[in-house]
Amino acid sequence: MILEATNTHLYPGNQGKISGLGQIADMQADGACLVEFSDGSATPARISRSEDGWQLHTEAYRTVAGTDIAARRWLVCLEEDGDHVGFRILKKAPNSQNR
């Protein structure tokens, strides 16, 4: 499963598509994925169900321009739109060590 982000990094309000997933009901409660960014950079990630909804845990990565992005945890909303599933970053996950 690949989360296709619309920017070079994630932030609250950022949206994208999820390829390799037909419906939200097909989502595993905890699964590995890849986040691909608009500049061609990518990072391994894990998406999991939590008490707050869905969390996305991204590994640290470097953008094509050379900016280092730390590992982060995000609360995300999954949305079905016609024939694809999308995601929207809601906010940093509580108790995360994001800076």
The CA-based angle 48-96-73, given to 5 degrees, is 40
Residue 64 lies in a domain: yes
Q: How do 15-19 and 84-92 pair as beta strands?
A: antiparallel
Q: Average of pLDDT values for 41-48?
A: 96
Task: Please give the tally of structural domains in the chain.
Answer: 1
How far is it, in rounded angstroms, from Cα 42 to Cα 10?
A: 12
Residue 59 lies in a domain: yes
pLDDT of residue 91: 96
pLDDT of residue 98: 46
Residue 97 lies in a domain: no
Residue 11 lies in a domain: yes
How far is it, in rounded angstroms, from Cα 38 to Cα 31?
A: 22
pLDDT of residue 46: 96
When pLDDT is cut at 50, 70 and 90, the band that residue 34 belongs to is very high
User: Does pTM top 0.85 for this prediction?
Assistant: yes
Helix, strand, coil abundance in the chain, percent, nearest 5? 5, 55, 40
Listed in sequence order, the residues at least 6 apart from 22 whose beta carbon sits closer than 8 Å to its beta carbon are 85
Domain residue limits at 62: 2-92
Residue 40 lies in a domain: yes
Tens of pLDDT, residues 54-95: 999 999 999 999 999 999 999 999 998 878 889 999 999 976
Tens of pLDDT, residues 8-31: 999 999 999 998 877 777 777 788
Residue 57 lies in a domain: yes
pLDDT of residue 99: 43
How far is it, in rounded angstroms, from Cα 88 to Cα 8?
A: 15
Residue 99 lies in a domain: no
Count the Cβ atoms, other than its own, within 10 Å of residue 16. 21
Residue 6 lies in a domain: yes
